[in-house]
Amino acid sequence: MRHVAAALLVCLLAACAVPPDQPAYYARMGRFMGLIANCGCSDISSERMLAEYGKALGDRYTAAEAAAMKGYIDLGAGETWENQIQICAEVCAQRCMVQSVVEPLGGRGTGEKACLVTERDLHLTDGNHINPGGDN
């Protein structure tokens, strides 16, 4: 009985363990990359980001995810929300993740050591519509 209880405890503890860091979901990674260009976190232009983003992905995404990511980069690069200043401040403040995107592209860095853009650590504020009700 003691061995069964010990085995159950080990299984329970293993289930509670935090899974290893996973790269950010491709749609969120695309928006992040577009926002880096849009917000001026580096000297990488939106056009250059769209043309060369594959260099920053490594082998962390499938070919289909990388292809779909281009649309999200384009959307992020063109965002103009009421709270755009807050969005840009948050994106550019994630310096090691910004560095991991711009470094492979040869862009101006943040001075930080590059780190993986993980789903757990990537923070992206939703945009607020300008005049969302259309009444004003």
2-15 per-position pLDDT tens digit: 554 554 444 444 44
The more confidently predicted of residues 132 and 115 is 115
Q: What residue segments make up the domains of the chain, in order of their start?
A: 20-125
Mean pLDDT for all residues in the chain: 87
Residue 73's Cβ-side half-sphere holds a number of Cα atoms within 13 Å equal to 24
Residue 90's Cβ-side half-sphere holds a number of Cα atoms within 13 Å equal to 14
Which of 27, 15, 18, 16 has the alpha carbon at shortest distance from 122? 27
pLDDT tens figures, 70-102 = 999 999 999 999 999 999 999 999 999 999 999
Distances (CA, A) of 97 to 57, 66, 71, 110, 121: 12, 18, 20, 9, 9
Would you state the pLDDT for residue 132? 56
Would you state the pLDDT for residue 21? 82
The reported pTM is: 0.81
16 pLDDT above the threshold of 90:
no
- Cα–Cα dist 24/9, whole Å: 32
116 pLDDT above the threshold of 80:
yes
Mean pLDDT confidence for 106-112:
93
Mean pLDDT confidence for 45-66:
96
Would you state the pLDDT for residue 3? 55
